[in-house]
Amino acid sequence: MSVVIIGGVNIDIGGISKAPLVPYDSNPGKVMISLGGVGRNIAHNLCLLDVPVTMLTALGDDAFADQIKKSCTALGIDLSHARILPGRNSSTYLYIGGPDGDMHLAVSDMEICEEIDPAYIEQNIRLLEEADAIVIDANLPEETIEYICSHTDRPVFADPVSTAKAPKLFEALSGITILKPNKIEAEILSGIRITDEESLCQAAEKILQAGVKRVFISLGKDGVLAAEKEYMIHIPAPAVMVKNATGAGDAFMAGLVWAHLHGRGLEESAKAASKAAAVAVAGSETINPDLNEDRIR
């Protein structure tokens, strides 16, 4: 059982205010520095679920890269095939959250991800051929996403990452096995404005018609709509006290991968992923070290 994750690895710098955020002002709170990146966060969560992970990514040769390598080695994430670029800075993600832990604003500097190009993937194509699952995030260049989806017969899991990056997946939807958009990303990828349960189902159907085998539209506190050909189900979110919502989507995707590797069906996969997300938001950090297989079974 092995998973190859292709995507971003970066340093997260996060600020959580003690009181409701006041725009254009200094907000007292707590500032934290941790490792992040959608791909890396999914990899970290999968390690907590005892799934072996290899990452294909791009790093600079700065102090942040050294920190990333040491941490990934300690976690069990294989970075031996990462592309190292001399003279470049590793990517950085800066976010600000309110006292409820929810992210209000973020800035990402992930230019180095453009170096995760098709030629680099081709050099490592054997890893993809031998994987039980491949996970990609939309931090990748569009041509890289298309190359991966057209050069493998392994299951491909895709995370749109954001509304700005989701359109990169348009041309590759037919090669994606499992897609995990949030509501706004699903609107972009389906072309349907989601206003109620009916339009939500229509959006899921449109994405499936594009060739995706399963789609899980995350709805935050309203749960998730899970859909595959001829079957849809709306799973409510587990009740949980939210401390930090920034890592929910990454844990959810890790839960989906874990469920696939263990042969779970659509509904079971949605429930396992929802439980993983609930564990994530219950912790104060982006990755909750309390996540494990027993918590999501």
Confidence at residue 89, expressed as pLDDT on a 0 to 100 scale: 86
Q: What is the per-residue pLDDT across 75-90, written as a single tens digit (0 to 9) for each?
A: 999 999 999 999 998 9
- DSSP conformation class of 47: H
- DSSP conformation class of 238: P
Confidence at residue 92, expressed as pLDDT on a 0 to 100 scale: 84
What length is written for the chain?
297
Q: Specify the higher pLDDT residue, 82 or 109.
A: 82
Q: Nearest 5 degrees, angle CA 136-CA 139-CA 144?
A: 65
Please tell me the distance from the alpha carbon of residue 296 to that of residue 288, in angstroms, as a whole number: 13
pLDDT at 93 over 90: no
Neighbour-count burial of 19, counting CB atoms closer than 10 A to its CB (0-12 exposed, 13-18 middle, 19+ buried): exposed
Q: What is the per-residue pLDDT across 121-150, written as a single tens digit (0 to 9) for each?
A: 999 999 999 999 999 999 999 999 999 999
pLDDT at 101 over 80: no
Q: What is the per-residue pLDDT across 40-49, written as a single tens digit (0 to 9) for each?
A: 999 999 999 9
Average confidence score pLDDT of the chain = 94
Please tell me the distance from the alpha carbon of residue 219 to that of residue 208, in angstroms, as a whole number: 18
Task: Report how far Cα 257 is from the mean position of its chain's Cα atoms.
Answer: 11
Please tell me the distance from the alpha carbon of residue 72 to that of residue 47, in angstroms, as a whole number: 10
Confidence at residue 246, expressed as pLDDT on a 0 to 100 scale: 80
Q: HSE on the CB side for 230, CA within 13 Å?
A: 0
> Going by C-beta distance under 8 Å and a sequence separation of 6 or more, which residues neighbour residue 24?
none
pTM, to two decimals? 0.91
* Average pLDDT of span 4-30: 93
End-to-end CA distance of the chain: 18
Confidence at residue 224, expressed as pLDDT on a 0 to 100 scale: 98
Q: HSE on the CB side for 161, CA within 13 Å?
A: 25
Confidence at residue 295, expressed as pLDDT on a 0 to 100 scale: 92
Give the domains, in start order, of the chain with CATH numbers: 3-9+36-90+110-296 (3.40.1190.20)
Please tell me the distance from the alpha carbon of residue 47 to that of residue 56, in angstroms, as a whole number: 16
Please tell me the distance from the alpha carbon of residue 94 to that of residue 6, in angstroms, as a whole number: 21
Q: Is the four-CA dihedral 219, 249, 271, 257 of positive or negative sign?
A: positive
**Confidence class of residue 102 from pLDDT cuts 50, 70 and 90?**
confident
Please tell me the distance from the alpha carbon of residue 193 to that of residue 252, in angstroms, as a whole number: 23
Share of the chain above pLDDT 70, in %: 100
